[in-house]
Amino acid sequence: MKILLTKEQIAERVKLLAAELNADYEGRELLVIGILNGSFIFMADLIRELNIDLKVEFMGVSSYMDGVENSGKLLITKDIHLSLNVADVLVVEDIIDSGVTAARLVEMLKSRNPRSIKVCALLNKQSRRVNSFSADYIGFEIEDEFVVGYGLDCAGRFRQLPYIGVVQM
């Protein structure tokens, strides 16, 4: 497996993202929503670097009903329990690929009347985008390669890797 991003590169970028979030949300309470399963390691490291008031929730979402092709529909497999009414919301994603799932998720969450909603993604594959969706905070821009590690998986494997690697097909 080729290492794309080392543990050290990821840690440094997470600190920079957290500094940006600390500045943007200073004096406000933030509701951080991690999208399962891939974001859990990134989100844990990110929130440990934040020095603002926050609450944490998790959601499970999918647009891949058959596991391969994006259906264009959003399936909520685990919903949040807190009200979003007048909350500042930060959705934490592992990777933004086509942008379909992220765009539909943001649209759905906006219907719950948050004060604000922004998306922070560790990885962004702009070359795969099929819509105009753009995350507000991006860790790394990457090429169209299949990546694993640091929470991202291949058939449930490799999430525990401390780095992000490219799967050699």
**102-117 confidence digits (pLDDT tens):** 999 999 999 999 999 9
Of the candidates 53, 94, 97, 144, the residue annotated as catalytic is: 97
Q: What number does CATH give the domain 7-143?
A: 3.40.50.2020
- Asked if 97 is an active-site residue, the reply is yes
The alpha carbon of residue 90 and the mean position of all alpha carbons in its chain are separated, in whole angstroms, by 9
Contacts (Cβ under 8 Å, ≥6 apart) of 115 = 86, 87, 88, 89
| Residue-wise pLDDT tens digits, 30-69 | 999 999 999 999 999 999 999 999 999 999 997 655 444 5
pLDDT at 86 over 90: no
Domain ranges of the chain: 7-143
Query: Residue 74 has what pLDDT?
Result: 81
The whole-model pTM stands at 0.93
